[in-house]
Structure 1
Amino acid sequence: MSLTHLNRRGEACMVDVTDKSVTERSARAESCVQMSTDAFEQMLAGQNKKGDVLATARIAGIQAAKKTADLIPLCHPLALTKVQLDFVLERETLSVRILSFCRLAGRTGVEMEALTAASVAALTIYDMCKAVDPAMVIGPTRLLEKSGGKLGHWRRAPDLEEEYW
């Protein structure tokens, strides 16, 4: 198998997608932030001193998806048509599950945009809550599903995730 991001001389390069067909493509990803009871309760009650944690994380995730090509070397800049972030608050584990969804009609997939959105939303939650709990844990961050392109549809094994979409 040849590596697509290397030219014949072994140098890094952006993949040429000019001749690929434009198809509808989408991807879902997740990340999770686990925190202390105090940080979780403050966030739920809207008492975080920096403001609305989840609203800020949602905006940060959307902005991050739009900036993925600026952050990840060799990623193509994409004209995203949808970026959505949802949060599942899990009181039993004192965690926030971040679910991202990205879609477009294009020549390359949106997996990196969905992963970047979930990651930056998690980092934003950490940043806003770190004064209360610097020991928060982020992860796992992972791709849940992708569709479109020549590989078609892929989904993480169902026993590894709950259905929220």
Structure 2
Amino acid sequence: MADNLTHFDEQGRARMVDVSAKSDTERRAVARGRVVFSKESFDKVRAGVKKGDVASIAELAGVMGAKQTSSLIPLCHPLPITGLSVRVEPDEKKFAFVVTAEVKTTGKTGVEMEALTAVMTACLTVYDMAKAVDKSMTIEGVELVEKSGGKSGDFNRGK
């Protein structure tokens, strides 16, 4: 774990990390989160709501969110995304939609923020589309599941 917060200089001022001396490497990150409903609301959303197929629209929104990450997160580098997938799948036991995003690039910095942004955007889209059915739903468990590439090495949260 890093001893210093890299987005601050010696005087404590915010800065974008200088990655110019780093080598380009293959980078990959996977993030996950979920939107949890009551059973009744989950069944309604799972069956389909008036706004259409919630999962496919949320998947598309997640892709769009990942592509906008550097516009949303002030000190995040704009990156050429070389691979991106977002899946929204129902979890019948937990009355939830689970969102998983995988992002890839070849570059000087990782794609963890893009993966997390994809998950949050997809979760927020599910929430938006289902809020008429259940205002008590929650977005939870948003986390980096794994990452590979770069100087800091690989990370895997495990199950």
For residue 122 of structure 2, what is the aligned residue in structure 1? 121
2:26 to 24, 27, 32: 24
Structure 2 CA distance for aligned equivalents of residues 152 and 2 of structure 1: 17
Which residues of structure 2 form unaligned runs of 5+? none
Structure 2 CA distance for aligned equivalents of residues 41 and 2 of structure 1: 46
1:2 to 1, 4, 26: 4
Percent of aligned pairs with the same amino acid: 46
For residue 76 of structure 2, what is the aligned residue in structure 1? 75
Query: Within the alignment, does 1:38 sit opposite 2:40 as a pair?
Result: yes
Count of residues paired in the alignment: 157
**Aligned-residue offset at 1:144:** 0.3
Structure 1 CA distance for aligned equivalents of residues 80 and 23 of structure 2: 15
* Poorly superposed stretches of 4+, deviation over 6 Å: none
What does the per-residue CA deviation read over 1:44-72, in whole Å, with 9 as the maximum and x for residues that have no partner?
Answer: 222x1222111110011000000001111
For residue 50 of structure 1, what is the aligned residue in structure 2? 51
Report SS of the residue matched to 1:139.
Answer: strand
What does the per-residue CA deviation read over 1:7-63, in whole Å, with 9 as the maximum and x for residues that have no partner?
Answer: 2332101011111000000000001111123332222222x1222111110011000
For residue 151 of structure 1, what is the aligned residue in structure 2? 152
* 8 Å contact from structure 2 (residues 103, 115) kept in 1: yes
Report SS of the residue matched to 1:24.
Answer: strand
Report SS of the residue matched to 2:153.
Answer: coil
TM-score, normalised relative to structure 2: 0.94
User: RMSD between aligned alpha carbons?
Assistant: 1.1
Structure 2 CA distance for aligned equivalents of residues 126 and 38 of structure 1: 15
1:131 corresponds to which letter in structure 2? Answer: A
Structure 2 CA distance for aligned equivalents of residues 130 and 36 of structure 1: 12
**Larger displacement relative to structure 2 (74-83 or 87-96):** 87-96
Which residues of structure 1 form unaligned runs of 5+? none
* 8 Å contact from structure 2 (residues 55, 89) kept in 1: no
Structure 2 CA distance for aligned equivalents of residues 62 and 82 of structure 1: 10
1:84 corresponds to which letter in structure 2? Answer: S
Structure 2 CA distance for aligned equivalents of residues 113 and 103 of structure 1: 9
2:45 corresponds to which letter in structure 1? Answer: M
